[in-house]
A and B are shown apart, each in its own frame.
Chain A
Amino acid sequence: MTALTKLFRTTTFRLSLTYLALFGAAAVVAMFYIYWNTTVLLTRQLHDTIDAELKGLAEQYTAGGLTRLVSTVADRSQTPGNSLYYVADPDGHRIAGNLSTISPELSSSLGPVEFVYSRPAPGGVETRLAFANVFRLPGGYRLIVGRDIEDRRELARLIRSAMLWGLGVMALFGIGGGYWVSRKLLARIDAVAATTRTIMEGDLSGRLPVNGSGDELDRLSGSLNLMLARIEQLMAGLREVSDNIAHDLKTPLNRLRNRVEAALREPYGEPAYREALERTIEEADGLIKTFNALLSIARLEAGAGGDHKETLDVAALVRDVAELYEPVSEERGLMLRADTVEPIFTRANRQLLGQAIANLIDNAIKYGAPGSAQASDATKPEVSVTTVVKGSMAAIVVTDRGPGVPASERERVLDRFVRLEASRSEPGSGLGLSLVAAVARLHGGTLRLEDNQPGLRVVLSLPAESNALVNGAAHQAAPAPEIRSA
């Protein structure tokens, strides 16, 4: 497709052609209407004046006979102007008037007639168009009164040519403008198409041009760019996940393989084989766990699980999960407190939200343990879980007194497989917080890490059910049991 046919195929160009045709037709109709009306009006005026003059002359004739008429006509013929007079005898010869000769059609006719006459001009004789009314006088005489209408013909010609010129200029501007606008638009569309091609070829960093004008194309490009950014982010996530899988799943797989190989190679005997097999199963179980967690996150990010939401009391769920972890925290010398005062309702998948809360508490117990950081001050090592309402959000806040997470790492630890150096000693896959973040996103909430001074403060916010909130506030009198250990 050549550049020109491409241009002609653009919607803009076709639209401008259509509009041009429509406006052209309208202009022709309007001009014709004006022209026609003007002509009718002028003709009527002409007829009226000629008729009036004829009438006047006829009266002269009635009053003073042919002589008086002839002298009046001779008189009037002297005055310069467009008026034409001719008084003919029964044979058609001129008796008076400013027309030198009359054409045969004029001499033989009666009533209004259009004719051509000649008159002396600076360069000889010129032929001009005239209109006249022929009036028969008694005795075979005829009176002809007319007007030179050559100027009107000139005017009509002028109007016609002005119309043609006007239409021509309009067409020129229309087509030219259409061409210009289409080209401009086509250039932008071509830029978009070019960007799209580079994106399709694999360069996801490409963005559509936005010129800041805020027009429809700009807005479209803007939202497409947002979409591209999201896709790029997802793709980057996917790439990162495959890299991580390569590392975090292959390493234990390799370890597992080495162990089995070593056991086969050396004749250790049954107890050693048994031990190797047991360790293999352990390793396989760890792998399965990691794999399950990865799959869960991937499915959550794809929106799975969102259709099993129910209205539940977050405070009750928090207490329930805290109760599950309470003996473990006691064993580790931590105090786990669940401070939930009033019921807070939200729409959530109980299992997913339960797992998210469990992961947060599990993390706090693992990494908020005493001795890991400042055990010097008087603050008793404790992990606390509270629920609060902030505006339209229900927040689950889990705090610990451990070493916390440096501000620069707070975003990163939400990513898959990211484990801080300090946490390497604890078992874990590095997927716990990623899963919580995915659960938060699925429920339209957020996950934030903050400084607890000292320690870590994790805030999981979810949209609260507003009407349920009112109901909940009504029976908040019921005291929440507090779980304490240590």
Chain B
Amino acid sequence: MRVLVIEDDQETASFLRRALKEQGHVAEYAADGQMGLELARTNAYDVLIVDRMLPKCDGLAVIRALRAEEIRIPALILSALGEVDDRVKGLRAGGDDYLTKPYAFSELLARIEALARRASPEEGSTRFVVGDLVLDRLSHKVTRAGEPIMLQPREFRLLEYLMKHAGQVVTRTMLLENVWDYHFDPQTNVIDVHVSRLRSKIDRNFEMPLLHTVRGAGYTIRDSAH
């Protein structure tokens, strides 16, 4: 994955580049909005990580300018401003996701991977398959090894989101935001309990578990046989 980091703080930027490289991604870097805009115009990136407050050209303005030029590279906005209003502003400017500082790197990584995947054709498919687990988005039916699995509507959406990002790490906040549409901290481990309930339905009677916990990051659904 080729990532452009537009961030004026040197230390943050170099930390991000190093960490992204460790994960096998190519990370390039722009120290201000103008340079970032130039780079994004001329190179094919998979994801942009844009700091909201930048010298010369504000982060939201960079995204707005790119969108006006029909450049649709998914963009993650990083900001110290974390209120609902700020978030709405960021998404309105054309950002695809919004992450508040300070953040955990695992959260950022999971989000940019999800963003990069979003541009792929799999996104719109009506059937998700992971191993012998099949989710049909049209008939709302889930089967594992041909056996039907009964899910509550919310469990279905939870599984749908996980399978849409099969093989990727999905964090608890991503689940809360995308499955429940809540952008606040629920204080208790509510998501974990929902996931473990889902796990008991899809994994309990099968030898090969599909839903895995990624320590310190979140969850992932994948076929470990491959």
Contact = CB atoms under 8 A, between A and B. Distances in A.
A292 B188 CA distance: 16
A362 B193 contact: no
B180 A324 contact: yes
Counting contact residues on chain B (CB < 8 A from A), the size range is 20 to 34
B84 interface: yes
B85 interface: yes
A299 interface: yes
Contacts of A325: 186, 188, 190
Nearest to A299: B83
B93 to A, nearest CB: 16
Contacts of A288: 102
Interface string B198-226: 00000000000000000010000000000
Contacts of B216: 278
Interface string B88-102: 100000000000101
Contacts of A323: 154
Contact of B193 (A305, A327, A359, A428): A327
Tell me if B's interface is mostly helix, strand, loop or mixed: loop
B165 to A, nearest CB: 20
Contact of B88 (A308, A328, A366): A308
Contacts of A285: 104
Contacts of A284: 102
Given A288-B102, A323-B154, A304 B85 contact: yes
B131 interface: no
A362 B85 contact: no
B189 A358 contact: no
B184 interface: yes
A273 to B, nearest CB: 16
Contacts, number: 66
A307 B83 contact: no
Interface string A314-327: 00000010011101
B183 interface: yes
Interface in B160-205: 180, 182-190, 193-194, 196-197
Candidate in B104, B188, B189 with the most chain A CB atoms within 10 angstroms: B188
Interface string A289-302: 10011011001000
B83 A296 contact: yes
B77 to A, nearest CB: 17
A91 interface: no
Nearest to A359: B187
30 contacts: A278-B216, A284-B102, A288-B102, A292-B82, A292-B100, A292-B185, A293-B185, A296-B83, A304-B83, A304-B85, A305-B83, A305-B84, A308-B84, A308-B85, A308-B88, A320-B180, A324-B190, A324-B194, A327-B190, A327-B193, A327-B194, A327-B197, A328-B188, A351-B84, A355-B184, A355-B185, A358-B182, A358-B187, A362-B187, A365-B188
Interface of A: 278, 281, 284-285, 288-289, 292-293, 295-296, 299, 304-305, 307-308, 320, 323-325, 327-328, 330-331, 349, 351-352, 354-355, 358-359, 362, 365-366, 428, 432
Interface of B: 82-85, 88, 100, 102, 104, 154, 180, 182-190, 193-194, 196-197, 216
